[in-house]
Structure 1
């Protein structure tokens, strides 16, 4: 994987490494420094550079901050404190990578000079945070600088058989800010797409941990083979795993682990990943306490106490072949459960227990937060002027895995994850009622009307959710959670379309949209893609408008899945009873209901 030399985004502290500067490489060749990648990377580099070349040629052009090794290994205390560092960033509520690392909860923020701007997308962020901590603490950090596919692929981010590590790089002695920029160029989701048992030709940066509370903790990384990465920042006592993640616009969002993170064949390396222990061998300790020279080695799977492949094959007998991974089973408290229940139960200490009323409320809150995160992404596209540009003649080769403006400003992947979460809420509601009817011991509910209580919780939390956006004429539109759900599959992922269409407007609300007939035709033609919640990265999607109008592979599905929780609950006797209980009565009756008024 080759790279371009980029200038760091660092105000007045920068040395003369401005865009356009010619740098001399160790072998005498020259290259031109390009701008730090932004959400609209239009520049084409004059030539590509390896990570080592960038470090050697550009470290002197950054603010002072040499990465020096002060220890030859990470101790247990270092690992715990890294977890605290991640947990603090998660708790901070920071909304961008830059704000996270400038937040008062970052104990190292005072060591960064004024003007430094931090930026990382979803794949970069785990490496970005791990190296930042290692740099500030003087701990060993080497990384997989180049990966190669195992078999043919048009895009290493989605290789069917996964990838392998070809080159590792130890950046000790170079400028830390330069290393952060190099990581942004060297790391992609392809870096994570490695079979958990593959250790050649070079060791990978992560290992697959056993699914226990001791092994899954703040700092653990989660890889979705559909091309998304997240970092665990909290695990609740009930087993719910909270993560933070970044996006192409460098925003940071939060959520909890569920079916949005799909399982896949072991070769794709999906799931939970812990950082592989590293150790400096043969380094010479200097008078100032720092180390020079030596080689960083990584622990092998056989030497890691909590290494396990159970997340791929189950906790029973291992299937004979990798291709049979789906036949592996998961058993919790002598009961066979699905993978996601197994994870949840294991994180709760081996007991799977759902508080259904809280679960539904939390899921509504999470969906509301994701709607707001989506709004931020749409606003960025509008601010960048994408709706004023002409619609391209064709869609990208694949709308979910692309680059350039489409990657930075479109939302098909984000929207698919959001729609999956809405469907999961619907499915969970039905499941909890089914569990209640069976008297399932895994349901922590002592009330007498579960359907009614779920409906009350749903409505109460939905009532706290308000979405708004600015129409093309500058007027503001606001609506609630249920209206957002009704619009969900009408919300355009296409960044070239007006804000009204991005938010699924119809009728009078749509009248202010400035899109012409061509964009309107594109919006209509993309409806089947909007109906699809499964992200199909292997599908060809570079269709012209006329091609997209006809059904076919890669063009979406005819109808969206069901998400109307409220309507389904109202078909249950308890749901109707809850509605009747809300009828106006005595003031004392109104005050005793926490959900009143709705």
Structure 2
């Protein structure tokens, strides 16, 4: 069944119960007919909903705000659900009904003015096969505007949490196996998620999530095998490979696992760094607008790291806005990060990359029914309902890129101290994530003897094995960039006063001086701790870290002790437990490569 643009309502079953509001509303004497008019679609999970079991509901709109969810039972009683509101765009409402009545129910999605935007009747059923139900109630055969809206809303809910909460998982597995977060958990009702492996790294993460969504909803999957690029050209990709097993009802866990194994052997960071004007790609660049940068959008930095947007937090009168993303690391950990210079690296002088925000290139059905990938010319047409193709990012300097995003995230501007605190929070977030990475290396050497081999040259940042799992050269370069961004905050007020609320009273120069004083105070107040080799913890302030910035130019080698990797001075009490050191030949190479970190500039391949 195809879906037209607009709003659609999705229903799934799970043990999570958000509950119903206490208020009950009597049915109208002459209720309007409940129809699917092409703008609404309803899902059930298990695909065959059971009476007496939980029923989860999500309404998604790609075009307008939606205000309420109402459930009506066969006896005429109506209940207004108490949904979680997210977005937008897309806008979504999600709630869970504790028990599906044996007589079924009718669901309505209401607009702000109280009119019905979507309606569908749901009846318990337990007789068809998964393939039959997918055929009758599936999302369709292609990725259209409604499909993309559902995918975006699913991604947002999957990683949703309070904005100030530090989200860090050992892998993707606990996320997908959490029925409270994963709207598609146990969607087929056969415990298909219970033992599902989910350990993608940064390049694999977007592909894994896209394929998982396609698996559950019966959509096709596409990928290309790409090169890694060269010093003077971005990666190029081969012919598209389209997999349609899920569309044909072959949705066993083994089928999905087979596809994931194929994807993880085929894709890498070069898959997202393709040239901005290239058509033979898995991703295409989009414009820097709120509507284009939806959850599920991928960010490819010029040096190989990949992140995925998961949530916008609007600016308020008392708190700054945020743009949040997730990424995966070589050790398979998945964490949520906020947009800023220290996390989203951008450069306009790296010939080997087409960096920036990109969307998956959609598989579309032509009027003749042929499945194919949309090209850049087609995607430049706003009538598709999809984010439009745009090379805007390729025309911006790093300074202009970050200023544009700053204005998009905080359109009202920020008080200088609020902007500083957001940047300081982001730096602490990166430091806490690095704590976990260094601890992983400490744990490894407690169980293994020997030395992890160190690659040569640019391979330092792109390799496999123990070095990829436990070293931190990419993370440490981003950390150095983050330190530079914090130190640059006072001067940024002078360069970009339009990003700050100065109220026409304080001059940019005066605001700079006040922020410099505030900076000296705050870096001594904010602190964190790390695990030393002897199992004890040591506390560092941000001031300590900034003073040790040169040490972080050579702190990425997992063969060094934790104390050395955090810049402790040999002979100091902090350094006392250090008994592991990188071999001398590795130290010599690190000295040669130090200039890359000092200048915060990745080498060409």
Structure 1 residue 277 corresponds to structure 2 residue 366: no
Q: Write the deviation string for residues 62-89 of structure 1: whole angstroms up to 9, x where unpaired.
A: xx99997841223333222211222223
Corresponding residue pairs, total: 427
Deviation at 1:189, TM superposition (A): 0.8
Deviation at 1:455, TM superposition (A): 4.3
- The 8 Å contact of residues 158 and 226 in structure 1, kept in 2 or not, is answered as no
CA distance in 2 between counterparts of 1:427 and 1:179 reads: 46
Deviation at 1:267, TM superposition (A): 6.5
- 2:221 is aligned to 141
- 1:58 is aligned to none
Please give the secondary structure, in 2, of the residue aligned with 1:167: coil
| More helix as a share of residues | 1
- 1:508 is aligned to 573
Structure 1 residue 341 corresponds to structure 2 residue 406: no
| More strand as a share of residues | 2
- 2:373 is aligned to 298
Query: What is the TM-score with the length of structure 1 in the denominator?
Result: 0.64
Among 226, 241, 244, the alignment partner of 1:172 is 244
Structure 1 residue 210 corresponds to structure 2 residue 287: yes
- The 8 Å contact of residues 499 and 513 in structure 1, kept in 2 or not, is answered as yes
Q: Write the deviation string for residues 174-225 of structure 1: whole angstroms up to 9, x where unpaired.
A: 61122122222211011123222222xxx32221112211111211111012
Q: Write the deviation string for residues 286-337 of structure 1: whole angstroms up to 9, x where unpaired.
A: xxxxxxxx863011111112111121125xxxxxxxxxxx7xxx9xxxxxx7
Among 183, 194, 219, the alignment partner of 2:296 is 219
Structure 1 residue 532 corresponds to structure 2 residue 598: yes
Distance 1:422 1:280, change over 3 A: same
- The 8 Å contact of residues 231 and 352 in structure 2, kept in 1 or not, is answered as no
Q: Write the deviation string for residues 111-163 of structure 1: whole angstroms up to 9, x where unpaired.
A: 4342223111111111111111121112232221x124xxxxxxx25553122
- 1:119 is aligned to 199
Distance 1:273 1:65, change over 3 A: farther
- The 8 Å contact of residues 360 and 458 in structure 1, kept in 2 or not, is answered as no
CA distance in 2 between counterparts of 1:266 and 1:302 reads: 24
Residues 446-455 or 107-116, more deviating: 446-455
Deviation at 1:462, TM superposition (A): 6.1
Structure 1 residue 309 corresponds to structure 2 residue 391: yes
Q: Write the deviation string for residues 208-244 of structure 1: whole angstroms up to 9, x where unpaired.
A: 1122111112111110120100111123445753221
Residues 103-112 or 226-235, more deviating: 103-112
Structure 1 residue 443 corresponds to structure 2 residue 522: no
- 1:91 is aligned to 160
Structure 1 residue 131 corresponds to structure 2 residue 211: yes
- 2:175 is aligned to 100
Note the 1:240-279 alignment, pairs <5 A: 240-259=322-341, 260-264=344-348, 268-279=353-364
Q: Write the deviation string for residues 553-595 of structure 1: whole angstroms up to 9, x where unpaired.
A: xxxxxxxxxxxxxxxxxxxxxxxxxxxxxxxxxxxxxxxxxxx
Structure 1 residue 468 corresponds to structure 2 residue 550: no
- The 8 Å contact of residues 65 and 177 in structure 1, kept in 2 or not, is answered as no
CA distance in 2 between counterparts of 1:462 and 1:109 reads: 45
Note the 1:386-425 alignment, pairs <5 A: 389-391=449-451, 395-398=455-458, 399-425=460-486
- 1:360 is aligned to 420
CA distance in 2 between counterparts of 1:244 and 1:428 reads: 25
Residues 400-409 or 526-535, more deviating: 526-535
Deviation at 1:338, TM superposition (A): 1.9
- The 8 Å contact of residues 196 and 207 in structure 1, kept in 2 or not, is answered as yes
Distance 1:91 1:458, change over 3 A: farther
CA distance in 2 between counterparts of 1:143 and 1:97 reads: 21
Please give the secondary structure, in 1, of the residue aligned with 2:357: strand
- The 8 Å contact of residues 177 and 193 in structure 2, kept in 1 or not, is answered as no
Please give the secondary structure, in 2, of the residue aligned with 1:402: coil
- 1:381 is aligned to 441
CA distance in 2 between counterparts of 1:441 and 1:394 reads: 46
Deviation at 1:372, TM superposition (A): 1.1
- The 8 Å contact of residues 266 and 312 in structure 1, kept in 2 or not, is answered as no
CA distance in 2 between counterparts of 1:385 and 1:229 reads: 28
CA distance in 2 between counterparts of 1:494 and 1:372 reads: 18
- The 8 Å contact of residues 314 and 322 in structure 2, kept in 1 or not, is answered as yes
CA distance in 1 between counterparts of 2:522 and 2:465 reads: 41
CA distance in 2 between counterparts of 1:367 and 1:177 reads: 37
- 2:539 is aligned to 478
- The 8 Å contact of residues 152 and 294 in structure 2, kept in 1 or not, is answered as yes
Please give the secondary structure, in 1, of the residue aligned with 2:258: helix
- The 8 Å contact of residues 563 and 575 in structure 2, kept in 1 or not, is answered as yes
Deviation at 1:529, TM superposition (A): 4.2
Distance 1:309 1:474, change over 3 A: closer
Q: What are structure 2's unaligned runs of at least 5 residues?
A: 1-128, 162-166, 316-320, 382-387
CA distance in 1 between counterparts of 2:257 and 2:474 reads: 30
Deviation at 1:274, TM superposition (A): 1.1
- 1:490 is aligned to 551
Q: What is the root-mean-square deviation of aligned Cα atoms in Å?
A: 3.3
Please give the secondary structure, in 2, of the residue aligned with 1:312: helix
- The 8 Å contact of residues 341 and 352 in structure 1, kept in 2 or not, is answered as no
- The 8 Å contact of residues 235 and 242 in structure 1, kept in 2 or not, is answered as yes
Distance 1:178 1:159, change over 3 A: farther
- 2:26 is aligned to none
